[in-house]
Each structure stands twice: as C-alpha cells, then as structure tokens.
Amino acid sequence: MAQRTRLWTEKFIFIILINFLVFMNHIMILSTFPFYIEKIGGSTALAGTAAFLFSLVAVIFRPFIGWMLDNGKRKAILAVGLFGMALMPAGYFSVSLIAFVLLFRMLHGASLACSNTSTATIASDIIPRSRFAEGMGYFGLATALATACAPAFGLLLMNKFGFSVLFFCSTGAIAVAVLLFLLLKTPHLEIKKTRLNFKALFDENAMPASAITVIFMLTFGALENFLAKFASEKDLPSGGIYFAVMSIMLFVTRISAGKIADRKGEGVFVYSCNASMLTALLLLAIVSNTITFIISAILAGYAFGGLEPALQSMAVHSAPPEKRGSANSTFLCAYDIGIGLGGGLAGWLISGTGYYSMWAVLSVANILSVILYVVWGRNHPSSFTYAKRR
C-alpha cells in the first residue's frame, strides 16, 4: 500500500523541474516585455496587445494539443514545445520591427501551450489518485515560484545587463529543461485513441473550475504585465521586490494548500484567495505606499498560491488517462485567457484612465469569481467540496 501512494519519485521531481524552467523562460520575458516594446518604439497599449496575442495563440492551440496528448503523444509534444521556447528569445533580439516581434510573441505562445499542457498531463499520469490535490499543489509550486521569482530575476538582468543577456538566460533555462527531458521516463499507459472532433477537444468536467479561473486570472494578468512599470512610475519599491515577497508567500501557501484541498475541498481557497486578491488590488488602487505595496504582495502571493492548484486539481482529478490531456488543456486555456484578457484590459485601461483606476476596475473580477463558484462550481460533481458533502 505504501508503495502505491508514494509521491516523490524521480519522474515526479524531473517533471516539476522541467515545468519550473519552462515558466522561468516564459515569465522572465512576460514581465519585461512592456519595457522591450517601449525600447523598440511601442506604447503601453501595444504591450497589452502583445500580451493578448500571446495568450490568444496559446488558447487556440491548446485544445488540439490536449487531443494529441490524449492519443499518447506526451513526450513528443513536450519536445516540440521546448524547442520553440528555446528559439523565441533569439527571435525577439534579432528583429526590431514591431510586427515581427508580435509574430515571434505568438509563436512563443504556441510553444508554451505545447510545453506546459504536456508537463501538466505527464504530472497527472504520475501522481497517485489518493494524493492528487497534494501532488498537483507541489507540481503547481514550480509554476508559482517561477511566476513569482522570474519577474525579479528578469528585471535584474534587464536593468544590469540589457535585453541580450535576459534573452540568453531565458534560452539557457530551456537548455537545462531539455537535459532533464532526455532523462525523463514517462509511465506506460493503455490509452484508447479518439477521433478529432469538438467533444474530444474539451473536457466537460473541467469547465466549472476553468470558468472560475478565467475570471480570477484577469487580476493576475494585470499584475504580471504591469506591476513593474507601475512601481517604477509611482516611486514605489521595485517590481522585483514585490514579486520576491510574493514568491515567499506562494511557497508557504503551496506547501499546505494541496493537503487541505484533499481533506476539505477547494471552496476554502476560492473564498479566501479571492478576498486576498481583491484587497491586494485595492491597496494598490487607493493607498499606494511602501507598506501597502508589501502587504499587497503578501496577499497576492497567498491568493495565487492557494487558488490555482486547488482549481487545477478540481478540473483534472476525475479525468481518466485518455481525457487528462483535454482536461489539462481546458484548464490551461482558461488560465491563458484570463492572463491575456487581464493584460490586454489593463493596458487599455492604463492608457485611458491610469493605473489606479485599472487596479480598482479589475478587482471586481474577484467578486465575480466567487459568485460563479457559488452558482455553478461548488455544486458540480467535479468539486472536491461537493464530494465531501456527499
């Protein structure tokens, strides 16, 4: 029995590390891209458009990637994604025309879709069902830590060495991921192949968690894309400090979040994490000073650290092997849509009304996220909380 419930295997550790390096590449560039757009002559609104296009392409590709994963092509899709993510930073640096930069940004979005949909699906194959939320929490810890510390690292490289070193290091992260990929042994699964049709592209049971995620991630899309510029323009501590503080809180939260979700369900995180993010954004909008800036980072770290793995576990835990790819792609489509729309909306709101109004407007998303969970998510069979009540 103990052997069947073992979580920390070599396969699990490798896929966590690969996922971490994928997101280091992604977020180092995401958080500094508005500065790069500005450097080559673009506007804040154009930076928001770049964020939207990146996510749009990822969303378009993910359902088909999920279908291919469900037909057994786990490692092949991951290899394609890693190859694309290694090449894109060189593409940004080799051209200065905005149209070509946006094209490379879209190709980077497609590469990310291949990479992190496949890592999430491989992790879903590896994690024991009895410890699923816990395992996905640890897997998501890699994403969360990269999401939190990569902006600080990216901003440091950009400010001290310039974009050439930044892009070189982001490619280096993927080079290490490729070495781990070559050592990774995935589980052998008996998978029933499915025909390509609309039903095969999405997983119905993942829809409630995914819809809630779209709304919540609007706020995180704004933070990821524009917090650093907001801090630099408003004479606040650097965006790197904000994300560093956030990463500490993310780490603390992720250690226990999965175990709590396995025992009590995802509801506790939906309520508390949305309340935390709402407060974090309102602090930036209404009372922006050094103390509230740090408090906001702590609250945002808890919010993302707790909610994302709880909802991903809700979306994926009941899927059989032949549906795990589509379940993960459905959830990650929602993740991309939320971040892309959040970044796009934030860019246009900043251009029209300024930073303070933007934070206040997007904080409404946290209220809507809770309402959607109460109306739909908590009474759906995919809910851990619903299963506990039964």
Express each pLDDT in 59-103 by its tens digit. 888 888 888 888 877 889 999 999 999 988 777 877 767 888 888
Q: What is the pLDDT of residue 188?
A: 72
Report percent pLDDT > 90 for the chain: 34
Single pTM value for the model: 0.74
Q: What is the pLDDT of residue 79?
A: 94
Q: Which of 54-68, 257-271, 290-304 has the lowest mean pLDDT?
A: 257-271
Task: Tell me how far apart the alpha carbons of residues 131 and 5 are, in angstroms, rounded to a whole number.
Answer: 7
Q: What is the pLDDT of residue 158?
A: 92
Task: Tell me how far apart the alpha carbons of residues 348 and 344 are, in angstroms, rounded to a whole number.
Answer: 6
Q: What is the pLDDT of residue 3?
A: 46
Q: How confident is the model at residue 130 (pLDDT cuts 50, 70, 90)?
A: confident
Write the burial class of residue 199 (CB in 10 Å: 0-12 exposed, 13-18 middle, 19+ buried): exposed
Q: What is the pLDDT of residue 198?
A: 66
Residue 384 pLDDT exceeds 90 = no
Section 120-147 average pLDDT: 81
Q: What is the rounded average pLDDT for all residues in the chain?
A: 85
Task: Tell me how far apart the alpha carbons of residues 181 and 216 are, in angstroms, rounded to a whole number.
Answer: 32
Section 232-239 average pLDDT: 86
Q: Which residue has the higher pLDDT, 316 or 113?
A: 113
Distances (CA, A) of 1 to 4, 7, 127, 386: 5, 12, 15, 27
Section 359-376 average pLDDT: 95
The DSSP output letter for 287 is -
Q: What is the pLDDT of residue 148?
A: 67
Q: What is the pLDDT of residue 1?
A: 36
